Structure 1
Amino acid sequence: MNFIQEKNYIWILVIVCAFIFFTNLDVLYPNIMEARNFITAREMVSDGNWLLTTMNGEPRYEKPPLPTWLAAISGMIFGFKSLAGLRIPSAIITLILVLFSYRFGVYFLKNKKQAFVNALILATSFYIIFAGRNGTWDIFAHSFMIIGIYYIFQFFSEENHIWRNSLLAGTFIGLSFMSKGPVSHFALFLPFIISYSIVYKYMNFKQKWLPLLGLVAVTALLSAWWPLYVNAFDGDTAKAIAEKETTAWADRNVRPFYYYWSFFVQSGIWTVVALVSLLYPYLKSRVANLKAYKFSLFWTLSAVVLLSLIPEKKSRYLLPVLIPLAYTTSFFMMYVFKSFQTKMKNLEKFPVYLNFGLVGLIGLVFPIIGYIFLKDRLSGFYTRFIITSLILVPIGFFILKYLYQQKIQRVFYLLIFFLMTTISFGFPLANAFLDNPKYKSLATISQEAETDNIPVYLFNIQSPELVWDYGGMIPLLHSHALEIPKEAKFKALVMIGAKKTLQKAFPSYKITYIRTYDLNPIDDSKKGYKDRLRTEMYLLERD
């Protein structure tokens, strides 16, 4: 692949990211985190709640507002009914993450080709793809943080541009806090500091104390102003929310310490080679830059250990680990590029054959496997299925061919092309599995309320996806602090199984069931069906 010249690296990364992060953004339904973000963004624009943020009219201070501001601006441009438009800010910040990971790699790896390989691995890692195509907060926090780390690395290791590097580092570390609080500081920045301290240490620091104070001041200012504002104008609510969030970290989704030990699986198609890259005794004599390898390895492992200390654990919390893991994996890939045909023994080659061979085989048999799973669901999807098959089959064939010929660099780049094709052409085939015959959107409720002149209320807080699908704010009736509506007749959306609570709250009302709204894209016979995506509508009439 000598035609890939250094001067083209940036453009290739932009093109790869365009295919992976900017296409088919409207395929998946909003998840619960996106719904929260999008509702808050919508209410920023409709109600002007840009600082004292709300979700369905209730205070929503759990997350800082920077990503939501960007979603709100995107909603103003593309409209709040455009899922693709609302997800574009995440795609853009992920592109920036990939480009800065390349730029940082060039700086500390001292090798543009390896930095390019690292950036491609990062862009095609599973959870990076997932986060970069979803309108949530995590990808913003970690993207801003990696920019801050890029500048603070220069601040630590250079004698020039000290003030520039310190102030830029402080700015982007502060923007990371404005995206999701201290999450990235703990999961990405602190492991970086630990690794840097072990490998590079701190030298000639006397002249840097004042710029360091400037860095801290800028970070503190950007991080603290919004929480201070909220505390000043709605302190009691902010305190209650903070206490609830703190309790959740200790009591909710508690997993054992070793829960994250399979973290390399989150890199998706790089799982096998990522695992091998972590084997320090094996790679220490095979990498070209041992110091940089130690740095990325310790950074990766420190992040995993620190995350393991937190009782609450979810797979998606491993997202920041994938950033240093991509650097670490690039060391093994560079060794494979250089030595596969000449120095590597058959046992060493086995993980490479396994990793890339499986992808090649999937591409080669995609039409067969795809037809077996989709044959009864392909109506309306045949054209896309055929196009995807016509591209993936030759990619799979050439991956296997070049793997047999031991031309590993060609195999590597074909793997990137495989993922670009899968997302750009094959991803909409996921809609073929959406077959819930009882699916019913809430989007028509507000129009019916105007036509019937019967208002609609939400009885108790329910799933954010329901509120998002409704299309606007639904007046809320709390059962524990009930305010009786002034209307003699109104409708209420009630959680599944909560009719008795409704009857207890309105004992003097005639309550009549109207219909059930179901946002599940799959039917109730399948795993993944969620009761929280259903709600029942009742008509309440005062006796």
Structure 2
Amino acid sequence: MNFIHEKNYVWILVIVCFAIFFINLDVLYPNIMEARNFITAREMVSDGNWLLTTMNGEARYEKPPLPTWLAAISGMIFGFKSLAGLRIPSAIITLVLVLFSYRFGVYFLKNKKQAFINSLLLATSFYIIFAGRNGTWDIFAHGFMIVGIYYVFQFFSSEEKIWRNALIAGTFIGLSFMSKGPVSHFALFLPFIISYSIVYKYTNFKKKWLPLLGLIIVTGILSSWWAIYIYEMDTETATAIAEKESTAWQDRNVRPFYYYWSFFVQSGIWTVVAFVSLLYPYLKLRVSNLKAYKFSLFWTIFAVILLSIIPEKKSRYILPVLIPLAYTTSFLIEYMFRTFKVNKNKLETFPVYLNFGIVGVIGVVFPIVGYIFLKDNLSGFYTRFIITSLVFVPIGFFILKYLFKKEIQRSFYLIILFVMSIIVLGFPLANALLDNPNYNSLQDISRKAEVEKIPVYMFNIQSPELVWDYGGKIPLVHSHDLEIPKEETFKVLVMIDGKKGLEKAFPNYTITYQETFDLNPIDETKGGYKDRLRTEMYLVEKN
């Protein structure tokens, strides 16, 4: 039985994405990557550094500027104190990613319902949610790339609109490069090309060589113009940054080859079914479109292999793999939709019972477990906690009820509703855990400096979160290249335990402790507390 008419698929995806990616965007504090992006965006607007980008007044060429331009424009509209406003561009590109994953699915799966299932899986995957709600570069690179891949697939497989497909594909592949360099080209596009060549092969290319050349030229121009510009305008700095970045891929965060082998876990609530969908010998006899399944499976596996080759590895780098993995997982879900009601094979149905059952149980027990976990911090949050519980419990109950009645579609769509409810209702409860009694923002420093007429400097480069919180540029004093401030009295922000370095740099000055600033949302007794989010202020006076 089909509970949702296909004419409503797109609207439902928009509603799901709005709930997951646009609501409560200001709950979490900016992370280090966001801080870098937002500082650069702020200085684009305040200083006009739209091409020769800066962070706290120093050259920042590590990342192409397209996502930062979008953050800057959003900052101009909503103000740079609005975290939600600065994160809206990420939410929009994630919506684009989900909608084009649906369009692409309709095209190569030949099944609108399965394409809809795929897009729901993608929108509710853990790392997609994380990236789509953060103002960083990754989601832009992969969002633009999936649009490019959609048109590349049409370019390869169809004899119609060849030039249109080539030029649009080249444009969006170039925009992907303008978002984070060749990351998505290597992790998403290249495995797509390899998988397409194995499963579909390249045929009837005689008419396509010239449009293909046009695709490459458009991609090349969009990908290279900014790099050429900064090299011509600031050769020395651009070269030094390029060398540092290329070295980082080999020397920084080096992990073993198998580091990404648990990649399916990053799909979050779909972990179990995602893993089962990768078992080709099992699923090949059960899918309705074997060719498409092979393609999405190879795309997933080759993406993991290519990422594993790179020495530098971080868990967030696995993000692009979740895109083909959602397609792959949709084959198992679509099969279960067709057969679960009459399937007597317990070995087949157990993973679904396990995966869906865990989600249902979480909903049912949330009031008890949530209260035990949060009881000491619920002051001011009781109303939200009660409302959240009143929504979670019935959703969890009906997930379990329909699961054991073998009405798998109802259970599946309730899990989507459960994820939406987590973001809309439950996510602000995270504030109940933010209990650092020593929290102290830097936002008042610049105002006090104007009133006291005592300038403030930063001793050595510190955490970007501190600079972002300060609200503007903080002049830097480098210990390795010391340039003494011209003022006889000034204040300096120093990292914790950095006073000795300050005394060594200013031997003929009286140095007096003033205040400690701490941006950690949790206190220092808890895991996750970061020393880099603390800084001390000293008054420095010439003797």
**Normalising by structure 2, what TM-score?**
0.99
**Which amino acid counterpart does residue 388 of structure 2 have in structure 1?**
T
SS in 2 for 1:375: helix
Please name the residue that 2:131 is paired with. Answer: 131
For residues 126 and 275 of structure 1, the distance between their equivalents in structure 2, rounded to whole angstroms, comes to 15
Aligned residue type for 1:405: K
1:344 CA drift (Å): 4.8
Find out whether 1:443 has 2:438 as its counterpart: no
Query: 1:519 matched to which residue of 2?
Result: 519
1:361 aligns with 2:361: yes
Counterparts of 1:52 and 1:15 in 2: how far apart (Å)?
A: 38
For residues 135-214 of structure 1, the aligned pairs below 5 Å read: 135-214=135-214
Q: Which residue of 2 aligns with 1:55?
A: 55
Kindly provide the amino acid, as one letter, of the partner of residue 70 in structure 2.
L
Offset at 1:480? Answer: 1.0
Superimposed CA distance per residue, residues 28-79 of structure 1 (whole angstroms, 9 cap, x where no aligned partner): 0000000000000000000000000000000000000000000000000000
* 2:538 aligned counterpart, secondary structure: strand
Partners in 2 of 1:526 and 1:366 — Cα distance?
23
CA distance in 1, matches of 2:463, 2:10: 42
Q: CA deviation at 1:123?
A: 0.2
1:87 maps to what in 2? 87
Distance 1:136 1:303 in 2: 21
| 2: CA distance, partners of 1:3 / 1:411 | 12
Structure 2 match to 1:64? 64
Please identify, of 463-472 and 478-487, the stretch whose mean Cα deviation from structure 2 is larger.
Answer: 478-487
Q: Residues 39-438 of structure 1 correspond to what in structure 2 (within 5 A)?
A: 39-438=39-438
1:505 correspondence with 2:505:
yes
Work out the percentage of aligned pairs sharing the same amino acid.
80
The aligned amino acid for 1:280 is Y
CA distance in 1, matches of 2:154, 2:332: 25
> Residue type of the partner of 1:130?
F
Deviations 1:231-253 (A, max 9, x none): 00001101101111111111111
User: Is 1:472 the counterpart of 2:469 in the alignment?
Assistant: no
Q: Which amino acid aligns with 2:308?
A: S
Task: Give runs of ≥4 in structure 1 deviating > 2 Å.
Answer: none
Query: Which SS does the other structure have where 1:206 is aligned?
Result: coil
Give the letter aligned to residue 450 of structure 1: E
Residue in structure 1 matched with residue 23 of structure 2 by the alignment: 23
Q: What are structure 1's unaligned runs of at least 5 residues? A: none
3-state SS of 1:514 partner: strand
Shift of 1:301: 0.3
Deviation string, structure 1 residues 358-412 (Cα, Å, up to 9, x no partner): 0000000110111111111111111111111111100000011001100000000
Which residue identity is paired with 2:334? M
Amino acid of the structure 2 residue aligned with 1:316:
R
Amino acid at match of 1:38: F
Shift of 1:3: 3.8
Quick check: 2:20–2:419 contact (8 Å CA) kept in 1?
yes
> Is the aligned partner of 1:10 residue 2:10?
yes
Q: CA RMSD in A?
A: 0.6
- What letter is aligned with 1:121? L
What code does the residue aligned with 1:169 have? A
Whole-angstrom CA distance in 1 between matches of 2:240 and 2:526: 38
Q: Which moves more between the two structures, 266-275 or 372-381?
A: 372-381
SS of 2:2's equivalent in the other structure is coil
Q: CA deviation at 1:2?
A: 3.0
- Pairwise mapping of residues 32-43 of structure 1 onto structure 2 (< 5 A)? 32-43=32-43
1:394 and 1:27 mapped to 2: Cα distance? 25
Offset at 1:501?
A: 1.2
2:458–2:477: 8 Å Cα contact kept in structure 1? yes
User: Is residue 343–residue 349 contact of structure 2 (8 Å, CA) maintained in 1?
Assistant: no
Give matches, 1:442-461, under 5 Å.
442-461=442-461
Structure 1 CA distance for aligned equivalents of residues 516 and 394 of structure 2: 47
Paired letter, 1:273: V
1:482 is matched with 482
Q: Secondary structure at the match of 1:457?
A: strand
Q: What's the CA shift for 1:343?
A: 3.2
CA distance in 2, matches of 1:36, 1:463: 9
Measured in 2, the distance between the counterparts of 1:173 and 1:400 equals 43
5+ residue gaps in structure 2? none
* Aligned mates of 2:103, 2:486 — CA distance in 1: 61
Give the match's secondary structure for 1:207. coil
Deviation at 1:478, TM superposition (A): 1.0
Structure 1 residue 283: Cα displacement? 0.3
CA distance in 2, matches of 1:10, 1:403: 26
C-alpha contact 2:188 2:321 (8 A) present in aligned 1: yes
Give the aligned residue type for 2:171.
T
Contact 2:174 2:223 in 1 (8 A): yes
Count of aligned positions: 543
Q: CA deviation at 1:166?
A: 0.3
Distance 2:310 2:447 in 1: 46
3-state secondary structure, aligned to 2:234: helix
Deviations 1:251-282 (A, max 9, x none): 11111000000000000000000000000000
The residue type equivalent to 2:203 in the other structure is: M
- Kept in 1: contact 2:141–2:176 (CA 8 A): yes
What is the CA–CA distance in structure 1 between the aligned matches of 2:212 and 2:6, rounded to whole Å? 35
Q: Which amino acid aligns with 1:412?
A: F
